[in-house]
A and B are shown apart, each in its own frame.
Chain A
Amino acid sequence: MFFYLIRRILTMIPTLLIISVLVFVIIQLPPGDYLESYIAELQSQGESVNEEKIQYLRKEYGLDKSMPEQYFTWVTGMLQGDFGYSFEYELPVREVIGDKMILTVLISIVTIIFTWIIAFPIGIYSATHQYSWGDYGLSFLGFIGLATPNFLLALIMLYLANVYFGTSIGGLMAPEYIDAPWSWAKVKDVLAHLWIPVVVIGTSGTAGMIRRIRANLLDELQKQYVTTARAKGLPPGKLMRKYPLRIAMNFFVADVGNLLPQVISGAEIVAVVMSLPTTGPMLLDALQSQDMYLAGTFLMFLAVLTVVGVLISDLALAALDPRVRLQGDNR
């Protein structure tokens, strides 16, 4: 197990290196660089452009160097925790992102938990009561959830929350807390705001998840080993938990790797609509204005999450399923 872990972590290194090259190429793909967009913007506003200042900035940011050199500086910088400098905010990327990263992770994790808490009982109910009115009704609700665009749901929820609960519109906290230091009151306020984006972002995922749990469980319920367990005289509830549910879990554990980046990228449009102080809107901005180091850091962050997520799900799968743990592939 230990060696397996080491091996997996070692293979993550080349994977992430290749991803970093791709990310760098992608953020360099649009013609020009940040300074050119900046000049263009200044000119369109009719302001004069200080050639000297531009030259200075170009040198300062290393934009005059060749691509491989720039890449090398970027990657080695990241290894030391220096993610580069954001042109747009005129601050180091780390300071720009900081809090937002934490809030993004918070929203994502709470959303995943929300999805699972809602989806699992409903999925199990639908599978065990297949073609009943309950199954049809919940499936119907699920499809509505799947079909409703998230941003629309976001707007509706914001309105309802404001009208019925008096929660301030937009954001993750009331305006007075935004620049305030973290306190108990601020935490409570964040929690009061948190549920709206969680519900909005989680809805479509939950609906999809219910369908998948139902389908997986229905497959497993047909299997012979379930009959064997029934023939032993196990009570229905325990039977369900010990056998089919346990095996149907495999799929979800294997899916964790995809879940993290999916939730984060799915949340971005919603974050714009709800003006959440998460990383989503910032990534969009950074990509538009070619704020390359900021955009690059975001993309790398997503990549790391994916790779780590896949590792976690593989380890959990091995813990859950002895076939994965003990059986080699016999090709």
Chain B
Amino acid sequence: MQGKRSSEVSDGETSPFSVNPDLLLQVNNLSIDFTIHGGNITAVRDVSLSIERGETLALVGESGSGKSVTAQAILGILPKIAQISDGNILFADPDQNNRVVDIAQLPRDSKSMRAIRGGSISIIFQEPMTSLSPVHTIGDQISEALFLHRSFSKHDGMSATEHMLEQVGFPHPSRAMRMYPFELSGGLRQRAMIAMAMVCHPALLIADEPTTALDVTMQARILELINQLQLKLNMAVLIITHDLGVVANVADRVVVMYHGEITESGPVDKIFSAPGHPYLKALLHSVPHFDMKPGERLTPVREAEYSLDTMLEDQKPAGTVPEGPHLVVNHLSKSFTIRNTGMFSSGKSSKVKAVDDVSFTIDRGECFGLVGESGCGKTTLSKMLMLAQSPDQGDIVFHCEDEGSIQLETLRDDDLTRFRRKMQLVFQDPFASLNPRMTVLDILREPLIIHDIGDEDYQREWAKSLIRLVGLDPRFLSRYPHSFSGGQRQRIGIARALALKPKLIVCDEPVSALDVSIQAQVLNLLKDLQQELGLTYLFITHNLAVVNYIADRIAVMCKGNLVELATKQQLFDNPIHPYTKSLLAAVPHPDPTKPLNFAALDGASGADSELWPESYSLNQPTDFRDMGDRHFVRVGSTV
């Protein structure tokens, strides 16, 4: 059937393109099937949307909702097992005098499809780490698209590429041309990716989760950059994201997808002010934001019903949780030696301070939030607390209810093994942290086997209690991790952390790998468990809204230093340190009436301590000074 229809579309009187000359792309009743194991699965069903020149359309939905597949169809890069079973994708190609072509009819690797792909429509992917080839220079990879689609001489093409790099904010474009992706930071790689997509000045840019892998300050800058370039080139942007904060800030119109179908579409203010579809309503309520009232609870799209049973009763705190410190960290430092053993270097080594003289106290029963951007040393800190890495200096004191205080860094062998029961870890990646060759029962029993607790029957019963505790069915115990979704796996990870009845749990970015709709579920579960079982949390994250929702006190970390430590209210109402301020300013609100202030962001220093005011500079002796009410800020000793 497909072969008979022509990809040429007659531009008759009734064509929407002749009615509206600004119309760039129109998708009509698109359906896409995946052939898997002989059967057909419909990933996208009856999707229609349109984009005008220069506008930004946001495609919103959770993972698996078909939003990326739709984008792949527009670009003609669907995987081999996927076919367009119905509908068309009409595109008025400005490179060919706005002649309208039906992309759905073009063979994927045909010459005319290749001319559109990368030339008139281009794409930015989510992962800047893996979406560039590691063995080709930045200049080579960016200019490649230019030489394919535009006739440039070698020299002109190279200087156009360099100019593009400058436009996307590379500090040294000529040097960057000869650099390899692994020599650049994540933010710069994403900029290179943007330069690659923009170098041919496409009419439509598809941005597939362009900022999900980036820190908030970098995210704000990338969004601003896309915005600027869009205005300059009158380019249309199709942004695919699950982050409603990003949507509220950049989109003109919004299309919401759920299970392969469009549930709702409209202008951005209407979508946020008067959501119609229950899914969108639920989604809006499931995102933590700064304006939540004290005690307000997120409503997950799907709630996890946990249940405590008799085996857990004894873990419930008797009466109130006793006051006092639970974990005290004193002057903890750790540096790493980086050896330059590349082929051309002489083997010089340099020291990097990952954690620099960090001190704080976690009180019993509180949730202590640790916030920082990637590379600030928060993971190194958590590893030292978990005794997976030994500190260079400083000590860690753990206060037990029954055994008094324990000096952690001096524990060895049996003492260390015994201590491990008291403090457990929830990992970031729910996919990598569960052994795919073990059943859930084995996973939950393993800690008990290691610590030789109970016989097999007891362990089995305990595993059942645990799995009910995190809101899963005990029948799931015999399954393997691959049959669970990300949120379910993270709940299994939490159950495993609870298996030894620890009193303190270190949560290292427990929700950052999960969809927003699942985040709320896991956050609520963690919150409930804390209350029910009287737990103390150290909650490490880069997401300020999440930490605002769950934590009682928050420490902000930058370049191995704690720069500010205060209660949640103090920190969000009255941030003092410039780094905290720029972090807070960079968070996009899921509310179109509160857009990011890009101008203010430009002035903000972010993690670049050189730009901080003199009195906060880290190049001098500094104190972590109490500004009143246990609100600590790092300032120069002389100030």
Interface positions of A (Cβ within 8 A of B): 1, 3-4, 223-225, 227-236, 242-243, 246-247, 318, 320-331
Contact = CB atoms under 8 A, between A and B. Distances in A.
B626 to A, nearest CB: 37
B338 interface: yes
A233 B338 contact: no
Given A231-B122, A234-B148, A247 B135 contact: yes
Contacts of A242: 136
A322 B181 CA distance: 10
Contact of A233 (B118, B127, B137): B118
Contacts of B344: 1, 4, 325-326
B57 interface: no
A329 B341 contact: yes
Interface stretch (B108-116, B159-167, B279-287, B413-421): B108-116
A224 B341 contact: no
Given A225-B130, A247-B133, A231 B123 contact: yes
A264 to B, nearest CB: 29
A329 B145 CA distance: 33
A247 B117 contact: no
A233 B130 contact: no
A229 B109 contact: no
Contact of A232 (B118, B183, B345): B118
Interface centre among A230, A233, A327 (most CB of B within 10 A): A233
Contact of B131 (A224, A246, A329): A224
Q: A-side binding surface: helix, strand, loop or mixed?
A: helix
B134 A247 contact: yes
17 contacts: A1-B343, A4-B343, A225-B131, A228-B125, A228-B132, A231-B118, A232-B117, A232-B144, A232-B145, A233-B117, A233-B149, A322-B180, A322-B182, A323-B180, A326-B180, A326-B183, A326-B344
B479 to A, nearest CB: 26
A132 to B, nearest CB: 11
Contact of A227 (B131, B149, B338, B343): B131
A3 B344 CA distance: 8
A328 B338 contact: yes
B185 to A, nearest CB: 14
Contact of B109 (A236, A247, A322, A326): A236
B483 to A, nearest CB: 22
A234 B146 CA distance: 11
B132 A234 contact: no
Nearest to B116: A233
B125 A224 contact: yes
Interface residues of B, number: 40
A320 B131 contact: no
B106 interface: no
Contacts of A229: 133, 144
A225 B149 contact: no
Given A235-B109, A325-B344, A230 B132 contact: no
B519 to A, nearest CB: 24
A243 B130 CA distance: 13
A227 B77 CA distance: 8
Contacts of B245: none
Nearest to A130: B80
A238 B183 CA distance: 26
A313 to B, nearest CB: 14
B302 interface: no
B114 A231 contact: no
Contacts of A326: 180, 182-183, 342-344
A236 B80 CA distance: 13
B143 to A, nearest CB: 11
A284 to B, nearest CB: 41
A228 B131 contact: yes
Interface in B331-368: 338-346
Contacts of B136: 242-243
A71 B186 CA distance: 57
Contact of A328 (B77, B113, B125, B342): B342
A328 B341 CA distance: 4
Interface in B158-205: 180, 182-183, 193, 196
Query: Which 7 A-B pairs give the minimum distances between C-beta atoms?
Result: A233-B118, A232-B118, A328-B341, A233-B117, A233-B114, A224-B130, A232-B145
A236 B109 CA distance: 7
Contacts of B346: 3
B75 interface: yes
B119 interface: yes
A235 B182 CA distance: 26
A243 B113 CA distance: 20
B337 to A, nearest CB: 9
Interface centre among B114, B132, B133 (most CB of A within 10 A): B133
Contacts of A235: 109, 114
B148 A232 contact: yes
Nearest to A242: B136
Contacts of A228: 125, 131-133, 193, 196
Contacts of B122: 231-232
B302 to A, nearest CB: 29
Nearest to B144: A232
A329 B339 contact: yes
Contacts of B127: 224
B201 to A, nearest CB: 14
Given A324-B343, A326-B344, 9 more contacts: A224-B125, A227-B125, A231-B75, A232-B118, A232-B148, A243-B133, A323-B180, A323-B182, A328-B340
Contacts of B144: 229, 232, 234
A13 B492 CA distance: 54
B457 to A, nearest CB: 44
Contacts of A325: 342-344
A247 B342 CA distance: 19
Nearest to B197: A231
Interface string B52-75: 000000000000000000000001
B114 A318 contact: no
Interface in B513-572: none
A29 to B, nearest CB: 39
Contacts of A322: 134-135, 137, 180, 182
A55 B118 CA distance: 85
A235 B112 CA distance: 11
A223 B133 CA distance: 9
A321 B119 CA distance: 29
A187 B428 CA distance: 66
A153 to B, nearest CB: 37
A189 to B, nearest CB: 45
